[in-house]
Chains A and B, each alone.
Chain A
Amino acid sequence: MNLLSCYDEAIGLAKTGDFTGLDSFFKQWGSRHSSGANRGEWLDHMLPEYSALDVSIKAYLLDALVAIDMEAACRLAEKDLETAYWDFRGRGGHVHQHLSIMAQMEGADLPTICLDYKQNMAMASAVLDGSSLKRVLHDQAQR
């Protein structure tokens, strides 16, 4: 099978949560695919689809690309920075939204600023570990 269809198959598998196809694709990279022409062909094929992939697959590919072509990896990181930034902000806002709903119903006083990601995650983790939000917020206010 040629390079690009191997890659497509591995990506298809990764979309189901199985990264073994990508593992063997990149394991073979050094021995079979490492010529410059192959690399260029693969990059042209991979890059346009990249942005729409699930973030776990993007993380895997970016890591693999660092080992193959540092320059291309940096260009890709540059290109995807804005998406990564706004996706991060969205997911962070979502955590805050959940905490805020829980706080309102539990009669706790959650800070309204959702940009404090470290603090929000510390609170969310404590709640998931079984603490009540009221308790967590109370402890935080004491500090």
Chain B
Amino acid sequence: MNALLRYQELFALALEGDGLPLSEFIDKVRLGEVSLSEVDEIVEHIKQSYDGLPCSLRAISLTCLFQMHGEAGYEVARRDLPKVVAEFRRHAGYLHQVVGLLVKHRGLRVPLAQDDYDTTMRVAFALNEGIDVNRFLKR
């Protein structure tokens, strides 16, 4: 089977929860057991399809790309950085909103600055796990 098709098949398998065959395949590429022209084909495929993938798949895709071809992975990571930073800000803003509402609703006294991502995450964790927020923050 052509290496690109094999990669696509193993990528789909990894999404279903079995990532081992994909890792083994990447190892083969790194050991030089797949011809360079076929590796180029996979690298091109990932570069082309990357932007259209949902966020969670982009992470796996980028790891594969980087492991097979460092320069290509680097290029995509640099190009994609503004987008992932903006995505993080949107999600951090929403988590801050959710946590702020719950903290207020429960009458907790927790200072929550918009850009204090680490505190927001810790409060979210404590609320989600149902443990005492203030005691957890003091740790």
Contact = CB atoms under 8 A, between A and B. Distances in A.
B98 interface: yes
Interface in B65-79: 66, 70-71, 73-74, 77-78
A98 interface: yes
B81 A127 contact: yes
B26 interface: no
Contacts of A115: 118, 121
B92 A81 contact: no
A101 B85 CA distance: 15
Contacts of A88: 88, 91-92, 94-95, 120-121, 124
A63 B94 CA distance: 10
Contacts of B70: 104-105
B71 to A, nearest CB: 7
B87 A117 contact: no
B101 A87 contact: no
B117 interface: yes
Nearest to A98: B77
A81 to B, nearest CB: 6
A85 B101 contact: no
Interface residues on A, range: 35 or more
Interface stretch (A5-13, A26-34, A38-46, A51-59): A51-59
Contacts of A101: 62, 66, 73-74, 77
A84 B90 contact: no
Interface string B93-106: 11101110110010
Given A81-B128, A84-B95, A91-B55, 17 more contacts: A59-B90, A63-B97, A74-B102, A77-B98, A84-B98, A84-B124, A88-B88, A88-B92, A90-B59, A91-B84, A91-B87, A92-B88, A94-B88, A101-B62, A104-B70, A115-B118, A121-B85
Complex A-B, nearest 9 residue pairs according to Cβ-Cβ distance, in ascending order: A117-B117, A105-B74, A101-B77, A91-B88, A88-B95, A74-B105, A77-B101, A98-B77, A85-B124
